[in-house]
Structure 1
Amino acid sequence: MDLKQLETIFDKNLGKNKKIVDIKSSNLVEKGENNGGELFKLDITVKNEETKEDSVLHVVGKTIPLIEKFQEIFNIQVTFKAEIIFYDKIVPILQQFQKENGMKNVITCFPKFYGGRLNLNGSNTVDKDGIIIMENLKMSGYTNLDRHVGYNLKESMLLLKDLAEFHSTVIAFKLKHPDLFFKEIRPVCNNHLQLSEENSFKDVIGIVEEILLQSKECTPYVPKIRKMWNEFKPDFSGENKREPFATITHSDLWVNNAMMKYVNGEPVKNKFVDFQLYNYGSPGFDILNFLFTSVQTNVLRMKFDDLIRFYHNEFVNNIKRLDCEYSKFSYSKFLKELELDSVQVLNWDLSFIPMVAFGQKGHALPDSNVVDFNDAQFKAMMVNNIPEEAKRRLHFMIEEYINRKWL
């Protein structure tokens, strides 16, 4: 990693008479754990020129993906800029709004932002010299959960509490300051993947079908799921979203994009990371996507409704704390919101659960040139290699959709 002119990003954070004298970098995550950008651990030695003492600042640097295909898929000319705006502008606006409305404990479920840049030439084009600098949460005791295990009940509730506060604070700000919201915030919430029509992973439905056919409850619905899959067109645009629930959504909320801190083995704090795809849309997508991709299947079977109601209670309580009308956010209307977003979640998670959430650790997603989901041998190999928990999760998701008449 070429760390040119990094000092300029830290000017306002270092303080007087302090200078960067050394930077050590190393990879932060394993190959295949983050396709939307390169993540580096940066240990920055800072010298106080008055006392001559050195201190070390532990941060994370995020740059654009090395692979050009992922630069296109993740739409970096939009998403990289928007991620900087989220940390630098939107988070402080929400925190100041909470303070103005008498809340002493403002939202803290985001990493500290040190700064960012698009390039070194001063243009508006993102290139390989673009970088986003945030605190290294691992140095503060935060960790990612094992994506092949997922969240237990306490961990899920802690995350959903923060998610409810985030979603509802945005909505409250929109209700109280609509002109400012639609002028300053709404325009940057259009960050979405660029999936081509010939995307080879559309053919992963063959693998999904093989898994679903292992469940007698799911088997009758396989033809309907294939038809839905082939006809589905994802809507990441943020246009024509339903009010009043429309809010800023993370839009990629799963195990790898959240970190948790523990004290004596108990989860006490949560942080959300990787806001490159945030959007203006339904909170239902974040909620259902997190539950199905990231919460342990046995927890979902026992507590799915409890977790949904817990989120809604936290959501409404925060709306009340911010002195906004809450009757329009009733539980029945909230359940309808989940139903309306369920099709998009299902189509996303059908491939995401087996191929990404439970994909082989330490390996990037397969290159499209060597993947043939229609080849019988390849398909059999993929099905056999998918962990049993992933298969149970897919079965549970379809069963839940059937029971709720979402499918």
Structure 2
Amino acid sequence: MCSIVYHSEIGDSPPQHLDVAFFEEVLETALRTAKVQLLSIHCKLGSSTGENYCSKIYRVTIEYKLHSDPKHTKQQMFIVKSIPRIESVEFIEDLQVYLKEKITYYDVLPRLELLMQCKQRFGPKLYQCRKQPENALVFEDLSESGYVMASRESGLDEDHCILVMEHLAEFHASSMALALLDPHIFEAYGDGMLSPNGLARDNALLMRFFAGNGQELHSLVKTWPGFERISDKIAKYLAHQRDNLIRSQAPSDRDIKVLNHGDLWVNNILFNYDVVNNRPVDAIFIDFQLSVWGSPGIDINYFFYTSTKLDVLQQRRPQLLKRYHDRLAGTLLGFNMDIPVPSYEQILQEVHRREAYGFFANYGILPTVSQDKAQTADNNLENFQCEDFAKQKVKQMFASARLEQTLRYTLPHFERAGVFD
């Protein structure tokens, strides 16, 4: 009889809702056959503690035999994303992230990849999902194909950023084509990370987290000589923080409309490398739970201000935007569907109009992203419910040298862009 063996790092609370019967169905779906015998199931953590806030990630290895080949033992690996039902993450229910992600993987991504004639993959395969007793999704393990995460602490260099921009442009372009073929396909994608529903309650975790980061940003910047004017403007921004956050993502009739990934930062991008030259040659996105239909400036600004090395942001921003536009235009023309091709100047306007979203990403997300791994071991949603822990952790985040260097460059940029006006 097959049983599940849990690695010691999982501790005393193994995911009992992920049972043998569930994984048997997962394997049958992956192999496209029910004629299989499970021999063993090994479950361990799939990411380091403090790397995931709203979900638990497990890496599962299943050993099995096929009825057609009973002499040989085979194995298959899967990634399981389990989203616990706890009050501290009520915004997950508000944003319907489980449903959105399931629809994206089952329906949207396969159709986008078909539009690309299967020359580009946008995400891993989803093999199984379960809503009760906890939301859980089971994906292929892309590490078996050589895909790995880059360093979130140091940020991405130009080679990585070029690859992401070109891949993002293909993702956005194919979503524009799909919207033309199926005008209602993206109606469920009206809410993203800064949805009014998710930010509605003052005492909710999401709003408290962003408010804490905003106050710490102001406390830090007002100690910097020469930043007095910007400090005053940040204070005015924070006086209406919720409205400013919502406005930074709110749709506009002027927008070019694409499907945004919605949470495009280092840990949500997997890279494959040419090992000889140690250069990235492919990228695949993961975690589409916050995808939103809207301006491409949402994804581009979020990526720029959470995931690039500072020198890339300072020196190569126009070149990256040109790469994005060239690939977007080429992909749209390749569809031969008479889709209006945005000009480079229009893309620049989209990015400029969403600079406020970049500012949010810079103070709301980058402080967490840039933390040293040694400081993130106790980062979880339960701990952040404690006010003293949250205050101490936010101060720790904003003590990052990388963060300070980045803010000293980006804040004057955001002022020039009119974000604080």
TM range (shorter): 0.7 to 0.9
2:136 alignment partner in structure 1:
131
Residues 1:363 and 2:382 are matched in the alignment:
no
Aligned counterparts of 1:87 and 1:354: Cα–Cα separation in 2: 29
Residues 1:57 and 2:76 are matched in the alignment:
yes
Residues 1:321 and 2:326 are matched in the alignment:
no
Residues 1:87 and 2:105 are matched in the alignment:
yes
Aligned counterparts of 1:25 and 1:372: Cα–Cα separation in 2: 30
Pick the aligned partner of 2:47 from 29, 50, 55: 29
Aligned counterparts of 2:30 and 2:238: Cα–Cα separation in 1: 48
Pick the aligned partner of 1:181 from 180, 183, 203: 183
Q: Any stretches of 5+ residues in structure 1 without a counterpart?
A: 100-104, 120-126
Aligned counterparts of 1:236 and 1:142: Cα–Cα separation in 2: 36
Residues 1:149 and 2:148 are matched in the alignment:
no
Residues 1:254 and 2:255 are matched in the alignment:
no
Partner secondary structure for residue 402 of structure 1: helix
Contact 1:257 1:274 in 2 (8 A): yes
1:124 alignment partner in structure 2:
none
What's the Cα RMSD here? 2.7
Q: Aligned partner of 1:74: which letter? A: I
2:88 alignment partner in structure 1:
69
CA drift of 1:266 comes to 0.8
CA drift of 1:191 comes to 5.1
Aligned counterparts of 2:188 and 2:398: Cα–Cα separation in 1: 43
Aligned counterparts of 2:127 and 2:247: Cα–Cα separation in 1: 29
CA drift of 1:260 comes to 0.9
Q: Deviations over 1:24-51 (max 9, x none)?
A: 1001111211112110000011211232
CA drift of 1:92 comes to 1.3
Q: Aligned partner of 2:281: which letter? A: V
1:300 alignment partner in structure 2:
313
Aligned counterparts of 1:139 and 1:220: Cα–Cα separation in 2: 52
1:168 alignment partner in structure 2:
173
2:238 alignment partner in structure 1:
229
Q: Deviations over 1:283-302 (max 9, x none)?
A: 11111111111100012111
Aligned counterparts of 2:396 and 2:25: Cα–Cα separation in 1: 50
Contact 1:316 1:326 in 2 (8 A): no
Residues 1:9 and 2:26 are matched in the alignment:
yes
Aligned counterparts of 2:339 and 2:240: Cα–Cα separation in 1: 37
Partner secondary structure for residue 69 of structure 2: coil
Calculate the TM-score normalised by the size of structure 1.
0.86
Assess, with a 3 A threshold, how the Cα gap between structure 1 residues 30 and 249 changes in structure 2: closer, same or farther: same
Larger mean CA deviation between 356-365 and 16-25 belongs to 356-365
Between the two proteins, the alignment pairs up a number of residues equal to 385
CA drift of 1:165 comes to 0.4
Q: Aligned partner of 1:147: which letter? A: R
Contact 1:353 1:394 in 2 (8 A): no
Contact 1:293 1:353 in 2 (8 A): yes
Q: Aligned partner of 1:222: which letter? A: S
2:350 alignment partner in structure 1:
337
CA drift of 1:270 comes to 0.6
CA drift of 1:76 comes to 7.3
Assess, with a 3 A threshold, how the Cα gap between structure 1 residues 185 and 204 changes in structure 2: closer, same or farther: closer
Partner secondary structure for residue 167 of structure 1: helix
Assess, with a 3 A threshold, how the Cα gap between structure 1 residues 190 and 404 changes in structure 2: closer, same or farther: closer
Contact 1:218 1:398 in 2 (8 A): no
Q: Deviations over 1:217-259 (max 9, x none)?
A: 6432111122123313233998744466211111111111111
Contact 2:248 2:354 in 1 (8 A): no
Aligned counterparts of 1:217 and 1:153: Cα–Cα separation in 2: 31
Larger mean CA deviation between 9-18 and 32-41 belongs to 9-18
Q: Deviations over 1:142-174 (max 9, x none)?
A: 211121101000001111111110011101222
Aligned counterparts of 1:164 and 1:324: Cα–Cα separation in 2: 17
Assess, with a 3 A threshold, how the Cα gap between structure 1 residues 311 and 56 changes in structure 2: closer, same or farther: same
Aligned counterparts of 2:377 and 2:348: Cα–Cα separation in 1: 38
Aligned counterparts of 2:327 and 2:121: Cα–Cα separation in 1: 16
Larger mean CA deviation between 90-99 and 49-58 belongs to 90-99
Assess, with a 3 A threshold, how the Cα gap between structure 1 residues 383 and 188 changes in structure 2: closer, same or farther: closer
**Percent identical across equivalent pairs?**
22
Calculate the TM-score normalised by the size of structure 2.
0.83
Q: Aligned partner of 2:256: which letter? A: F
Larger mean CA deviation between 264-273 and 9-18 belongs to 9-18
Larger mean CA deviation between 264-273 and 6-15 belongs to 6-15
Q: Any stretches of 5+ residues in structure 2 without a counterpart?
A: 1-14
Assess, with a 3 A threshold, how the Cα gap between structure 1 residues 133 and 285 changes in structure 2: closer, same or farther: same
Partner secondary structure for residue 181 of structure 1: coil
1:122 alignment partner in structure 2:
none
